[in-house]
Amino acid sequence: MIRLNALDPTAAKWVLGAAVLTALPLLFHLDPLVAVAAAIPLLWQAVRLYRHRSHTPVNRILLILLTGIAAAVTIWRYGSLFGRVAGLALLAMLLGLKLVESRSQRDAHIAVQLCFFLQLGYFLVEQNGLTAVFAFSACGLALAALQRIEQPALALRPAMRGSLRLLLIATPLALVLFILFPRIERPLWGLPADAQAATTGLSDSMAPGSIAALSQSNEIAFRADFTGPVPDRHERYFRGPVLSDFDGLTWRPSRGGSIRLSANQLPAPNLRYTLTLEPHQQQWLLGLEHAIPGQDQSIDNNGVLRSIRPINNRLRTTIQIHLSSGVWQYSTPGDLRRNLALPAGFNPRTLALGKQIAEANPTPSARLSAALDVLRHNQFVYTLTPPVLGRDTADEFLFQTRQGFCEHFAGSFVILMRAAGVSAHVVTGYQGGEVNPIDGSLVVRQSDAHAWAEVWVPEKGWLRIDPTAIAAPRRIDAGITAALASNANLPFLVRTDSAWLRALRDRGEALSHAWNTWVLGYNFDRQRNLMRYLGLDPRNWQILIALLIGFAAVWQLAVWLLPQWRHRPVSATDRAWRRLQNHLAKRGFTQGLSEGALSFIERVGLARSEWSVSLHALAERYIHLKYARPMPNHAAQTLELERAIKEWISKN
């Protein structure tokens, strides 16, 4: 049924409030111009409501013009209408325009539903406590507006109370569904275009932001099935391409000929695992350190393990590893020279710092520890959304912003080492991963993508240095969600040396770790882990469905029964009388709603004269107890009446 009833202005105001609360976090996230374009319709609607003009039809041409401008600005700034952020921006604009042209209740319903979807959409960009607060406040206000549409007499406060009640009552069901609704292992469909480029996997170069974009994807990169125990988390560095050439902006693999090594130059393998690699259209495989090439595999003197064919389909292959405390040392002097090169005219401050380190420390290992000290003592912050860096990325990162992602750490560190005269290169790959409790295989996702450094120390070889681990140890110990707990928005807390503030920060980090792990990071693996912990078979998702239905039924029963139980405060006297009523109803006598107890009994007495006297006495006692002033022995008398009624029922 389509109802085109007019929307009352108060409800329209509430819908606008909900829309503003929904769009606000998004507006701050958008490109300023797009944000302004998205805010204009909201402001317009606010003005219309303020001037009591919400019922006058808007100028169609103006509306179409605004829509066009909104789309044009979005395309201009984001290059597309359908990317993640661009799509959200467009949706926010459409929401505003819908509000401006809504005059019927149906329009308001559509706007509210758009709000709900936009709240969800924003979670694609950011999922933190603040976003959640905004989303759920907006949700409450939107529900209040819906109530107001149905009941125009409703004021804001009772309406909000009603919304809060709805949300609170729905929470237990939501909690159960959240835990038990079966999660899926891989996406149902491909991710949108702007996610695509990065999420297909590691590329063979490292431009600013490339790994940060990758880390937002939960797609599986590969699995590794170890014959023995899975190595420790901080040993799980899966090496991908090695990047030696730097042009000031992007790191690329060395253009100089790398030398292919043959297996008999290398030690015998002592660890094997089966790699199941998702297609990434490149040749490199992901080996732990010191891989030995097997069939159809090759390795070069940088230790990059390759497949002889590009990996266009899912590949299952055995990787052999020589696990030892030794380091890789198959590099030529030419390699080492190339690994010292830096583009001219970039990062002057970093070069100066490197020179300073080189002058103070004669040996490469001393220079290395001096550079590590720089990382350690400058309170770097690990964040997925670092400030945008300009031309001299290493300078800005090391000396100004000090906020970055693994690629900033690795890139800047290598530049610093090269400036100090120590050969170094960037290694990209994956770090960590999670053990799947069902089959014990290690699942590594795109979000585990990582970049680190390798530094050449003469007589030793290539040493793996992970600058990120120095600044944000949790990234390595507990994965990326934990590392992000170090809140980039609070540099004051991060940089302070006060003990209690640090304790506060630690507590906050623990809390946010729990939030990251159990709320945001609750995925397929965690759900199956939980099932296993509860003693259920993790493979059997039907159990989840059965539990889900069971809990949902309990919830439904509770919401059906609780209000009835609460809203019927029946006195003992009435209970006793009701017992008699029920009994008489079975004999065909029902007391009418407007019929008093006495007249009812008289009516019964006319039909069944043998009951007349006894029932009359009971009715008198009931009326006395119910309506006369309570006597001290009221309770005793009530009990007596109850007993008398029971006795009467048993006799008749």
Question: Considering beta carbons, is residue 112 or 576 the nearer one to other proteins?
Answer: 112
The span of 127-135, 247-255, 413-421, 469-477 binding other proteins (CB under 8 A) equals 127-135
**Contact letters for other proteins, residues 143-162 (x by CB under 8 A):** x--xx-xxx-x--------x
In the bound complex, what is the minimum distance in angstroms from residue 52's beta carbon to other proteins? 24
Question: Considering beta carbons, is residue 150 or 459 the nearer one to other proteins?
Answer: 150
**106 is a site residue for other proteins (CB under 8 A):** yes
Closest CA to 388 of 374, 376, 405: 405
Chain positions 2 to 31 lying near other proteins, rule: CB under 8 A, are 2-3
**597 is a site residue for other proteins (CB under 8 A):** no
Catalytic residue among 109, 280, 290, 450: 450
Q: CB of 217 within 8 A of CB of 195?
A: yes
**137 is a site residue for other proteins (CB under 8 A):** no
Contacts of 165 (CB under 8 A, 6+ apart): none
**109 is a site residue for other proteins (CB under 8 A):** yes
DSSP letter (8 states) at residue 449: E
The span from the CA of 550 to the CA of 554, in Å, is 6
The span from the CA of 605 to the CA of 616, in Å, is 8
**191 is a site residue for other proteins (CB under 8 A):** yes
Q: Which tokens hold the place of 538?
A: 């993790």
Total residues contacting other proteins by CB under 8 A comes to 64
Output the 3-class SS for 153-210. CCCHHHHHHHHHHHHHHHHHHHHHHHHHCCCCCCCCCCCCHHHHHHHCCCCCCECCCH
In the bound complex, what is the minimum distance in angstroms from residue 269's beta carbon to other proteins? 36
Question: Considering beta carbons, is residue 136 or 226 the nearer one to other proteins?
Answer: 136
Closest CA to 169 of 631, 463, 566, 571: 566
**61 is a site residue for other proteins (CB under 8 A):** no
Chain positions 513 to 572 lying near other proteins, rule: CB under 8 A, are 519-524, 555-556, 559-560, 563, 567-569
In the bound complex, what is the minimum distance in angstroms from residue 435's beta carbon to other proteins? 18
Output the 3-class SS for 280-328. CCCCECCECCCEECCCCEEEECCCCEEECCCCCCCEEEEEEECCCCCCE
In the bound complex, what is the minimum distance in angstroms from residue 240's beta carbon to other proteins? 24
406 catalytic residue (yes or no) = yes
In the bound complex, what is the minimum distance in angstroms from residue 470's beta carbon to other proteins? 30
**76 is a site residue for other proteins (CB under 8 A):** no
**399 is a site residue for other proteins (CB under 8 A):** no
322 catalytic residue (yes or no) = no
The span from the CA of 96 to the CA of 159, in Å, is 23
Contacts of 546 (CB under 8 A, 6+ apart): none
The span from the CA of 424 to the CA of 339, in Å, is 5
Closest CA to 237 of 57, 453, 27: 453
Question: Considering beta carbons, is residue 57 or 592 the nearer one to other proteins?
Answer: 592
**178 is a site residue for other proteins (CB under 8 A):** yes
Helix axes 609-627, 634-651, angle to 10 degrees: 160
**594 is a site residue for other proteins (CB under 8 A):** yes
The span of 275-283, 334-342, 573-581, 586-594 binding other proteins (CB under 8 A) equals 586-594
**105 is a site residue for other proteins (CB under 8 A):** yes
In the bound complex, what is the minimum distance in angstroms from residue 578's beta carbon to other proteins? 13
Contacts of 526 (CB under 8 A, 6+ apart): 517, 518
φ/ψ of 246, rounded to 5, equals: -130, 125
Chain positions 455 to 474 lying near other proteins, rule: CB under 8 A, are none
The span of 109-117, 261-269, 467-475, 644-652 binding other proteins (CB under 8 A) equals 109-117
Question: Considering beta carbons, is residue 415 or 597 the nearer one to other proteins?
Answer: 597
- Considering only 75, 116, 330, 642, the residue that binds other proteins (CB under 8 A) is 116
The span of 124-132, 294-302, 309-317, 344-352 binding other proteins (CB under 8 A) equals 124-132
**132 is a site residue for other proteins (CB under 8 A):** yes
The span of 117-125, 224-232, 412-420, 581-589 binding other proteins (CB under 8 A) equals 117-125
Closest CA to 283 of 311, 261, 303, 258: 311
**177 is a site residue for other proteins (CB under 8 A):** yes
Question: Considering beta carbons, is residue 519 or 534 the nearer one to other proteins?
Answer: 519
In the bound complex, what is the minimum distance in angstroms from residue 151's beta carbon to other proteins? 4
The span from the CA of 633 to the CA of 631, in Å, is 5
**What's the gap between Cα 638 and its chain centre?**
59
- Considering only 29, 77, 183, 322, the residue that binds other proteins (CB under 8 A) is 183
In the bound complex, what is the minimum distance in angstroms from residue 199's beta carbon to other proteins? 11
Q: Which tokens hold the place of 357?
A: 């380190």
**Contact letters for other proteins, residues 205-224 (x by CB under 8 A):** -------------x------
Catalytic residue among 245, 300, 395, 466: 466
Torsion angle in degrees (nearest 10) through CA of 589, 590, 592, 593: 160
**80 is a site residue for other proteins (CB under 8 A):** no
Question: Considering beta carbons, is residue 216 or 250 the nearer one to other proteins?
Answer: 216
Catalytic residue among 245, 280, 392, 406: 406
In the bound complex, what is the minimum distance in angstroms from residue 150's beta carbon to other proteins? 5
Q: CB of 121 within 8 A of CB of 82?
A: no
Q: CB of 248 within 8 A of CB of 341?
A: no
Q: 568's torsion region: left (phi>0), alpha (psi -120 to 50) or beta?
A: beta
**What's the gap between Cα 15 and its chain centre?**
26
**82 is a site residue for other proteins (CB under 8 A):** no
In the bound complex, what is the minimum distance in angstroms from residue 608's beta carbon to other proteins? 21
The span from the CA of 286 to the CA of 444, in Å, is 11
**385 is a site residue for other proteins (CB under 8 A):** no
Closest CA to 384 of 447, 306, 459: 447
3-state SS assignment for residue 251 = strand
The span from the CA of 356 to the CA of 598, in Å, is 106
- Considering only 63, 110, 358, 644, the residue that binds other proteins (CB under 8 A) is 110
In the bound complex, what is the minimum distance in angstroms from residue 39's beta carbon to other proteins? 23
139 catalytic residue (yes or no) = no
3-state SS assignment for residue 211 = helix
The span from the CA of 447 to the CA of 220, in Å, is 9
**Beta 461-465 vs 449-457: how paired, if at all?**
antiparallel
- Considering only 187, 326, 343, 348, the residue that binds other proteins (CB under 8 A) is 187
| Residues engaged in binding other proteins (CB under 8 A) | 1-3, 105-106, 109-110, 113, 116-117, 119-121, 123-124, 127, 131-132, 135-136, 139, 143, 146-147, 149-151, 153, 162, 166-167, 169-171, 173-175, 177-178, 181, 183-184, 187-189, 191, 218, 519-524, 555-556, 559-560, 563, 567-569, 592-594
Residues classed as catalytic: 406, 450, 466
